[in-house]
Structure 1
């Protein structure tokens, strides 16, 4: 992988929703832990009308669907589902990153990834499949089984699979708990069944042999974030990460794209990554 896109996001065909718009809205309201009174107040509609919409006794206008979806923070993909369930055309396009209309966004992703070198960074889709990565990532994943590196590469599966990076993650229990908690929050927000399945898969992975021993400790201050510590032939590498997303996207692909950037958590890691970069020149 390098700073160019390793594969474009697929354009999955939209399927007709099985539920009514009222049922879907009620599910999103309950997922957000809002009462009908709360949502009606936020959306400036009567509780009676909202009750009628949820029960199927009233059909919401297109404007009403969008207003309720906005207050419920429904993802763009699912807003299309709500619109179609109400009998309206979908509003948001979903273009592959290779689409000419996405050229500026694609360049932005590549600039961020390249600009983060010599530190690793990767762009992921909503299911944690790696869409792009910079040149600093491959040296960190060389120990993974080749099957896990065949596109589409799933970042979470690569990280936690017994034949992935699990064997070299020094603080495996800590990192596993962090990833599962983060994925659980994503499931709660999105309601995505594919993420539910991914969470169950990751949770079922056995602990690597070294995880039964206490993690290595170096004389350094307690971290302020959960670090990722990798045992490598070059020494222990320690990272913390940040996540970057596009602001106010109106395309589904962009709304679901995130850039995960790894930063060195200590001077030793920064020095080793610097040497990796020099060796690539």
Structure 2
């Protein structure tokens, strides 16, 4: 009955394990380390997707937006960030919006920042995970009072970021493992960035 209710309420696998433990049952879902042999083939496949996305940036993130892996193109975006923000685990949301991170180079910071804040706040409301709640509170502090009047500037929200004096515009696409039965794998998502205009495509293809 617990499993049936959890499935219908879309409860994350890690929380289902906690429900089972609280009810006196053994956890049902595995929770492996990224380097565990049992999930090696899955991790290898995901890393191949990262490399296949070159020359454009792509990251593999856990459910707290910590970087598990990334392709080489991401290094170009992170250049100039404070070293403390790039110590493991690197939280990509914090790096984006921290004053010593990418915030000073993001041309549409209110729009992009509010987009990230909505994502983190939504997940915090869904999971009640203290780390999600703390992250939402932290980045809200970086943004100040949200500007609800910021109008959309195109068909999708883009990241406008200065790289070596060039304003690059990307839109992002996210993919998850819909068939995961391991709690760590369930939280993984592949975040890929694609050029939002011809100039960005041209500049990045030359790198």
* C-alpha deviation, 1:126, in angstroms: 1.0
Judge conservation of contact 2:195–2:201 (CA < 8 Å) in 1.
yes
Judge conservation of contact 1:234–1:272 (CA < 8 Å) in 2.
no
Deviation per residue, 1:229-263 (Å, 9 max, x gap):
00222411000001011121100011000010000
Correspondent of 1:198 among 128, 135, 140? 135
Judge conservation of contact 2:169–2:197 (CA < 8 Å) in 1.
yes
Find the counterpart in structure 2 of residue 143 from structure 1: 80
Tell which deviates more after alignment, 74-83 or 232-241: 232-241
Q: TM-score, normalised by structure 1?
A: 0.69
- The reply to whether residue 260 of structure 1 matches residue 197 of structure 2 is no
- The reply to whether residue 103 of structure 1 matches residue 48 of structure 2 is no
Give distance in 1, aligned partners of 2:127 and 2:167.
35
- The reply to whether residue 269 of structure 1 matches residue 200 of structure 2 is yes
- The reply to whether residue 229 of structure 1 matches residue 160 of structure 2 is yes
Judge conservation of contact 2:97–2:143 (CA < 8 Å) in 1.
no
How many corresponding residue pairs?
199
Q: TM-score, normalised by structure 2?
A: 0.93
- The reply to whether residue 239 of structure 1 matches residue 176 of structure 2 is no
**Which runs of no fewer than 5 residues in structure 2 stay unpaired?**
145-152
- The reply to whether residue 251 of structure 1 matches residue 182 of structure 2 is yes
Give distance in 1, aligned partners of 2:135 and 2:29.
26
The structure having more radius of gyration, on CA atoms, is 1
Give distance in 2, aligned partners of 1:74 and 1:174.
30
Deviation per residue, 1:122-148 (Å, 9 max, x gap):
011111100000011101110211111
* C-alpha deviation, 1:71, in angstroms: 1.1
Find the counterpart in structure 2 of residue 215 from structure 1: none
- Match of 2:206, SS state, is helix
RMSD after superposition: 1.1
* C-alpha deviation, 1:202, in angstroms: 0.6
- Match of 1:82, SS state, is helix
Structure 1's consecutive aligned runs of 4 or more residues displaced over 4 angstroms after TM superposition are none
Judge conservation of contact 1:126–1:256 (CA < 8 Å) in 2.
yes
For 1:1-281, list aligned pairs within 5 A: 64-205=1-142, 222-276=153-207
Give distance in 1, aligned partners of 2:140 and 2:63.
19
* C-alpha deviation, 1:206, in angstroms: 5.5
Judge conservation of contact 1:243–1:261 (CA < 8 Å) in 2.
yes
Judge conservation of contact 1:161–1:205 (CA < 8 Å) in 2.
yes
Give distance in 2, aligned partners of 1:103 and 1:113.
15
- Match of 1:127, SS state, is coil
Judge conservation of contact 1:238–1:265 (CA < 8 Å) in 2.
yes
Judge conservation of contact 1:168–1:231 (CA < 8 Å) in 2.
yes
